[in-house]
Structure 1
Amino acid sequence: ALLIITLGIILGTLTAISANHWLTAWLGLELNMISILPMITKQKHPQATEAATKYFLTQAIASALMLFSSTLNAWQTGSWNITQLDNKLSCILMIMALTMKMGAAPTHFWLPEVMQGSTLATTLLITTWQKIAPITLLYMISNHIETTITLTIGLLSILVGGWGGFNQTQIRKMMAYSSIAHLGWTMTVISITPNIAITNIIIYMTISTPFFLMLMSTSSKTLQTMTTIWTYTPITNIIMMLLLLSMAGLPPLTGFTPKLLILDNLVTHKLTLMATTMAMFSLLSLTFYLRTTYLLTSTAPPTTTQSTMLWRLTSHQNQITTTLTPVALFNITILPSLLM
């Protein structure tokens, strides 16, 4: 069953990103959605059922909106080609549909709840793999996107992501709001310089994947349980701290590079006020990243933790974590040369 689900998720995404026809892309997204639902409902718990229901309903609405948009465009222009979304209303509806599928503001409402009701492995999929298809479709229609719309969505996402994660104690919800904020950075620049937008989302995935894998290996679901990580795997404690700082976008870590490129691009296009506002709003996200970092470091020896100790089980890090962690932390010098 797991093999079928995995194949469905992979095939759905590949179908959507390689499609040239809107119906094929829609089919790929639907296959993707249907495949991930059993993974969300894997836990026999009311919260998991609720999460799956919310995910299904939201994705179904987004899919219907996507179909309506593409049909309207085909009716007006006679083309089902993805890159020929010439009708203005169709383009706006398509942006709304794809942002709903990704979980960007203002259609972000489902993401924190779904992530909280899912396992850490499923949460990792939702924050990384599930965003590949919608962001690729946005990339393909980037020539037709109104910059004002994407800037508004982006700014709102950064604000909502920072504000929402501000007071969270559950790591999955905190990471959901972190995902919304990072999507905001991607959305602001997708209609101006799509390549930088794609770079930003790839880097976010590169950083969040090892972080989630470490959470899975340490069975950490709340900030309180994170305070005991140092007792059985001190190295993981340090790496998680660095990954959080990288997500926050602090130099010289990798997460700083896309933010710098985006801000530079906005200033180049005479959107200095927008760039300044984004930088200010990102301080909200920085607050909860630093709070989590503080919890990870302040409880390390010689300071004693106030939390109940977990069983000191051997922590097994898989090869993906080992491979992605250096990339997620130290490739700042490589990226600009690749983008030029």
Structure 2
Amino acid sequence: MTVFTPATPLFISTLILSTLLAISASHWLLLWLSLELNLLSFIPIIMISKSLQETEGAIKYFMAQALGSALILLGALMIFNPFISPQISIIPIILGAMNKLGLAPCHFWFPNVMASISWFSCLILTTWQKIIPLMILIFLPLTHITPFLMITGALSSLIGGIGGMNQTSLRPLLAYSSIGHLGWMICTSAISSSMAIIYFCSYILVILPIMLLLMSKNIFSNIQLFSTFKSKHSFQLSAATLFMSLGGLPPLFGFFPKWMAIQAMSMSHMLFLPLTLILGALMNLYFYLNLSFPMLINLLNPSFMKKKESITLASISSLILGVSPICLFLIYALTMFN
């Protein structure tokens, strides 16, 4: 259970401020300082409850992020060296941003940290903390290393699918799913930066209600999930719809960003890359269907059909995010005007 302290609003405000400073930074040194402020603001949020497990997760997160910040600072200093070409000096910046994101092959810290922290910290880690390094990879002039980023994105999609296969805890499961979605974002950014931003916003719209739902029920494992939906049937519709949407099952909302990415890659005459991404997405969909099918089967149980339960706000929001055609037309219109 997350316990908020009086200092929590202060750390959250500095976390938001550091991200805004990094986005609007006009110098590499200011960007690096914003990253350090962001790191020092998130560490106390992780350690809100002061448990040994969260302390261990905070140390692992600090070591990984400190390495990423050091690489970015090294690349920034190399840029101002006239004896080093810009193509070489940009490589440490890319590696530092990949390490901060948790992209393969720099992903090893991400599931371990997710397994050790609270749902509130997981929510921030998978959404807000991805903004700065993702913007670095999207908006840098990276034409000469675009093939490297595509290989990294395809590898992240495969590792996100393979790593989530044998997970019984929901937090590492969602961590590997985030790695897989990051692979799609990176590959999409090589074609269109605005399309990658749309994919990231779509991912936030799906992962946000899932984590809020699991945080409200204090669920951390598959066993807890199944025992909860057996006793509280109103939980089933929202959880099953959101899990399948996160897995990208058509025609749910999570499928449409993948559809856009596949269409853009096919128009760019790419074949191997979308096939690799689809293979990783199918593995993600497999373990989310394993979570969703027991809930859907229980919904068709005659004993459940006789029960009268009120429709919760979570159920309504999951249906809107799951099947709303307005979301499809909005995403399609934004890509058409790109």
Whether the TM-score (by the shorter chain) exceeds 0.5 is: yes
- Partner residue of 1:249? 248
**Paired residue type of 1:333:** F
Contact 1:241–1:296 (CA under 8 A) maintained in structure 2: yes
- Partner residue of 1:207? 206
- Partner residue of 2:55? 49
- Partner residue of 2:320? 326
Q: Distance in 1 between matches of 2:266 and 2:317?
A: 35
**Closer/same/farther in 2, CA of residues 192 and 316 from structure 1, 3 Å limit:** same
Q: Distance in 1 between matches of 2:15 and 2:83?
A: 32
User: SS of the residue aligned with 2:81?
Assistant: helix
Q: Identify unmatched segments of 5+ residues in structure 1.
A: 79-85, 305-313
Map residues 294-305 of structure 1 onto 2, 5 A cutoff. 294-299=293-298, 302=301
Q: Distance in 1 between matches of 2:110 and 2:142?
A: 28
- Partner residue of 2:90? 91
**Closer/same/farther in 2, CA of residues 327 and 277 from structure 1, 3 Å limit:** same
Q: Identify unmatched segments of 5+ residues in structure 2.
A: 1-6, 304-309
- Partner residue of 1:221? 220
Contact 1:215–1:221 (CA under 8 A) maintained in structure 2: yes
Over residues 134-158 of structure 1, what are the superposed CA-to-partner deviations in whole Å (9 max), with x where a residue is unaligned?
Answer: 1122222045462111111101100
Contact 2:25–2:31 (CA under 8 A) maintained in structure 1: yes
**Closer/same/farther in 2, CA of residues 244 and 301 from structure 1, 3 Å limit:** same
Following superposition, the deviation at residue 317 of structure 1 comes to 6.0
Map residues 306-325 of structure 1 onto 2, 5 A cutoff. none
Following superposition, the deviation at residue 179 of structure 1 comes to 0.3
Pair 1:261 & 2:267 matched: no
Q: Provide TM-score, normalisation by structure 2.
A: 0.88
Contact 1:217–1:316 (CA under 8 A) maintained in structure 2: no
**Paired residue type of 1:163:** I
User: SS of the residue aligned with 2:269?
Assistant: coil
May I ask how many residue pairs the two structures share in their alignment? 323
Q: Provide TM-score, normalisation by structure 1.
A: 0.88
Following superposition, the deviation at residue 298 of structure 1 comes to 3.9
- Partner residue of 1:166? 165
Following superposition, the deviation at residue 254 of structure 1 comes to 1.5
Question: Aligned to 2:42, which of 22, 33, 36?
Answer: 36
Contact 2:241–2:322 (CA under 8 A) maintained in structure 1: no
User: SS of the residue aligned with 1:76?
Assistant: coil
**Closer/same/farther in 2, CA of residues 27 and 247 from structure 1, 3 Å limit:** same
Q: Distance in 2 between matches of 1:303 and 1:324?
A: 23
Q: Distance in 1 between matches of 2:50 and 2:188?
A: 41
Q: Percent identity?
A: 33
Question: Aligned to 1:75, which of 67, 81, 99?
Answer: 81
**Closer/same/farther in 2, CA of residues 77 and 186 from structure 1, 3 Å limit:** farther
Q: Distance in 2 between matches of 1:180 and 1:329?
A: 24
- Partner residue of 1:148? 147
User: SS of the residue aligned with 2:220?
Assistant: coil
- Partner residue of 2:22? 16
